[in-house]
Amino acid sequence: MVSQVITSTVIGLEAYKIIVEVDLINSIPAVIIVGLPDTAVSEAKERVRSAIKNSGFSIPNQKVIINLAPADIRKEGTNYDLPIAVGILARDGVIDETLIKNTAFLGELSLDGSLRAVNGILPIVSGLKDLDIKQVVVPRENAKEAALVPGIKVLCADTLAEVVAHFCANTQERKELETCEIDIEDYLNEFSTNHYEFDFKDIKGQVKAKKALEIAAAGGHNILMTGPPGSGKTLLSKSFASILPPLELEEAIELTKIYSVSGLLHSDNPLINKRPFRAVHHTASAVGIIGGGSRPKPGEITLAHRGVLFLDEIVEFPRQVLEVLRQPLEDGEVVISRAQTSIKYPADFILLGAMNPCPCGYLGDSQKHCSCSEFQIQRYRARLSGPLLDRIDIQIEVPRLTPEELLNNKAKSESSAEIRKRVVNARKIQSQRYKDYHILTNSQLNAELIKIFCKLDENSENLLKTAISRFNLSGRSYDRILKLARTIADLNESPDIESSHIAQALQYRNFIENTVV
C-alpha cells in the first residue's frame, strides 16, 4: 500500500499542495525521487537516508519510490526532507498512517536527524489552512512564524525522532509534540516602542522639504528631492521612515509573507511590524531591483512594499534600471515572466529619490559657482526620463542652509512623533473614504475614482486650467496633481479640495526639463 504525506510548496506568494507518495518495490535497494524535483530535492534522498539512520531507524531494504504529486509543478527547496522521511517510515510501519492524515509536514533534515528552518513558511501555512488542513508540523525555528496563521494547529519539533514519537504506531512510545501559539497583536504593537535613529526634530531648516515629506507619507506619494551636496537630502530621507504610519495587521501579514519567501525573517521576531525602508545603491542591477532570476525571487521594489524605496543619487542609476520602475509605479505590482511560469509580486511602495541639480552639484547654489556647461546640465538631467518624472508626484528643491540656520541651535523643530500624528489622522480619513474600494491611500486612486473623490470648484478648475496651459501637463501629471491636492486637503481635514490646495500641489512640481540640447 502506498503511503501519502501532505506538504506544500510556494510559487511567488501562492502555496500549492503537494502529496508525497512512497512505495516499496522488491528490487535492488535504492531511493528514487520522481515528480519534477530540482537538484536540492533530488539530493534529499541522501539527507533523509542519513537522518533516518542517525535517528535510530532504518531504511527498508528495498527500492523506495518517492513521487511528488502533482508532477507538473517544479519542486524546489529543502522543505520536502521531513515529509519524505515521514512517508518512508509510514510505509515501513514505524509511523501510524491514520495519524498523519490531514497533517502537513515541512522542514529540512540535517544528517544527524535534527530539523532546520526553511523559507516561505507563512504563505505555505496560510495556503494549507485555506485547503482545510487541520495541523502542520514545522521546525522549531519556524514555529512562531507558522503560528501567525489562525485556525490551524502548529506542532514544532527539533528532531525527526520527536516527530516519529508523536505519530508512532506503538501507542506506548508516543510523546506529544509541543503546540506553538502566539499573540499577533503583541508583535504588531511593538511598533510603539521602536525608536528611530533619525528624527525630524534634529534637522535644521528645510521647512518646505519637511512638509513635502509629510504630504508624501500621508498620501503614499512618490517624491524627488534636488539640491546641492550637504543640503540635507539624505538626512531628510532617512528621517522619512520615522513619520510613516504604523502597519495594519493585514499589511503586516502581507509583508511578512514577502520576507518569509525571501528568507529575511528572524526566528525570534516572525512578524514585520514596521514599514520597510529599502536604501538601494546605484550599482544595483535591474534584476536586483525588480526581482527575478532563474528561480524568481522578490526584488527591492517588492521588499519595499507598503514602505519606501530610497534611491540616493538617483541619476547615477543606469537608465535601464530606472525605466523598469515605470510599470510597478503605475500598477503597484510586478509580473515576472519565465518560460515555465509567470509570477506576480506586490510592489506598492513610495519612491523617494535624491539628486544633485547638475554634475558638479552646485547649480543655483548661493555659495558656490556651478562649473558645468549647459549641455552637461541637460544631459545630466536627461538621465531621468519624462515618463518616469511624470510618475513622481512631488518634485522639490532642497537649498543649502543659510549660516543663520546652521548656527541657530535654539530653534525647535517638530518631532517625528508630532508629524506622524497628522499623517496617521490623514490615513484614517482615507481608509474610511475608500473602505468600499479596496485601496488605502490617495496615490492609489484610478481615473474613475478621481472623478468621484477629487471634484473641484470653479476657482480650482480655473487655476488648474492655467497650470495645464503654462506647463503643458500630461494627463498623468494632471491626475497626480489632483491626488496630491486631495492629500493636502486631508491633512487640513477639509472635505473638499479648495483652490489653495491646488496651488500648494502645484508648488511641489518643479517640472524639470529633460531634453538634451
What DSSP state is assigned to residue 210? H
What radius of gyration, in Å, describes the C-alpha atoms of the chain? 28
Interatomic CA distance for residues 371 and 133, integer angstroms: 68
**pLDDT for 516:** 35
pLDDT per residue as tens digits for the range 321-376 = 999 999 999 999 999 887 777 899 999 999 999 999 999 999 988 889 999 999 99
**pLDDT for 511:** 47
**pLDDT for 498:** 93
| CB 301 within 8 Å of CB 347 | yes
Question: 366, 351, 406, 352: which is closest to 203 by C-alpha?
Answer: 406
**Which run of H or of E encompasses 450?**
helix 447-453
Peptide bond into 70 cis (omega under 30): yes
**pLDDT for 517:** 31
**pLDDT for 180:** 95
Interatomic CA distance for residues 85 and 92, integer angstroms: 11
Q: Which residues contact 210 (CB under 8 A, 6 or more apart)?
A: 200, 203, 236, 413, 414, 419
**pLDDT for 186:** 78
φ, ψ at 280 (rounded to 5°)? -105, 135
Interatomic CA distance for residues 221 and 442, integer angstroms: 8
Whether this model's pTM surpasses 0.85 = yes
Q: Look at strands 308-312 and 350-355 and give their pairing.
A: parallel
3-state secondary structure 363-380: CCCCCCCCCCCHHHHHHH
Q: What is the mean pLDDT of each run of 10 residues along the chain (517 residues)?
A: 94 94 94 94 95 95 96 92 97 94 96 96 96 96 94 96 93 90 80 72 89 96 94 93 91 94 87 93 93 87 96 94 93 85 91 94 89 93 90 92 79 87 96 92 93 92 89 86 95 94 87 40
What is the number of H-type helices and E-type strands within the chain? 22, 19
**pLDDT for 394:** 94
Q: Which residues contact 507 (CB under 8 A, 6 or more apart)?
A: none
Domains of the chain: 3-182 (3.30.230.10), 189-507 (3.40.50.300)
Strands (E), 273-332: 277-280, 291-292, 297-298, 308-312
**pLDDT for 269:** 82
| CB 514 within 8 Å of CB 386 | yes
Q: Which residues contact 40 (CB under 8 A, 6 or more apart)?
A: 76, 77, 78
The DSSP result for 115-145, as a single string, is EE--S-HHHHHHHHHHTT--EEEEEHHHHHH
Interatomic CA distance for residues 251 and 427, integer angstroms: 14
φ, ψ at 64 (rounded to 5°)? -100, 115
The DSSP result for 468-502, as a single string, is HHHHT--HHHHHHHHHHHHHHHHHTT-SSB-HHHH
**pLDDT for 515:** 36
Q: Is 289 helix (H, G, I), strand (E, B) or coil?
A: helix
